[in-house]
Amino acid sequence: MATVIEHAWESLSNTLRLFVEAHMDFAALYNVDRPDAVTRQDRTIEGKLEKFHTLYDVTKDLQGFDYFKHADTALLILLRNAIHHRDHDLFVSWDAFVLAHEETQKLPSSKYLFASLTPETERFVPRYYLPLDDFRKRLPDAKLKAADRVTIGALWERDLRFADITTVAKREGFDVASVYVDLMPVFISAMHRVRGWLATTSFVPSGSDGRIYYHSFGAEPPAQQLSFRALAAPNN
């Protein structure tokens, strides 16, 4: 019988596979049913965050790893909590944002900036954009000690390059509300980090997906490089 940690990892791995499958179908479905395509994508992302949080729940009291001491793992947990409770209007994905303005065919801003730690040369890597400043807006409401919120905010600015992204945005004349950041490199980095820690314990993955993703995230993490893409909003 699988332990609770093995089950949590297997469940998380299942959602990763489902996300990949949904991503592969996204473009074709978007062409025929945009609301359904966007909704499916958002729900699979939320599913990944929920299962990551479950893994956190069953491992947070183990020795040797603190999820809130790392920019990537802390961001995923705080983002999941924010979306799970949804007592605010933050963290609307770019595709959902565009869809909400489909009827008027006019976006609030004339130009948008998209930042990612996945190089632009990586054409086939999934990307999922959320408003950069929403993370800063939500952090003060996180149920953490004030000192921990300050530490996490500093980690985000440095390790996830939020400060560098903001500098480029201001230099190029983008409004802060028009800057989006890619969640996927953060998720990938967090998975490599947690898998690396689990490898130092007695953990052994169970299930087909669990073993496949445990092996996958045991490889060298992909190189990160801050890259940007600008978009001039149509009909503005």
Domain count, the chain: 1
Between 29 and 97, the more confident residue is 97
15: which 2 tokens?
A: 């959602």
Return the number of other C-beta atoms located less than 10 Å from residue 205's C-beta.
20
Between 142 and 12, the more confident residue is 12
Residue 90, pLDDT > 90, answer: yes
DSSP 8-state class, residue 183: S
> 69 near 61, Cβ under 8 Å?
no
What digits encode the pLDDT tens for the residues 98-111?
Answer: 998 877 778 889 89
Per-residue model confidence (pLDDT) at position 1: 46
- State the residue for tokens 């801050």: 226
Average pLDDT value over all residues in the chain: 92
Give the residue-averaged pLDDT of 121-136.
Answer: 91
Per-residue model confidence (pLDDT) at position 154: 97
Give the residue-averaged pLDDT of 119-123.
Answer: 81
Name the band, by pLDDT with cuts 50, 70 and 90, for residue 234: low
Residue 118, pLDDT > 50, answer: yes
CA–chain centroid gap for 109, Å, is 24
DSSP 8-state class, residue 144: S
Give the residue-averaged pLDDT of 192-204.
Answer: 95
Residue 231, pLDDT > 70, answer: yes
Per-residue model confidence (pLDDT) at position 233: 75
Name the band, by pLDDT with cuts 50, 70 and 90, for residue 76: very high
Residues of the domain holding 83:
4-232
**Distance, first Cα to last Cα, the chain:** 58
Bridge partners of 181? 115, 130
54: which 2 tokens?
A: 């479950």
Contacts of 159 (CB under 8 A, 6+ apart): 70, 71, 72
Give the residue-averaged pLDDT of 148-170.
Answer: 96
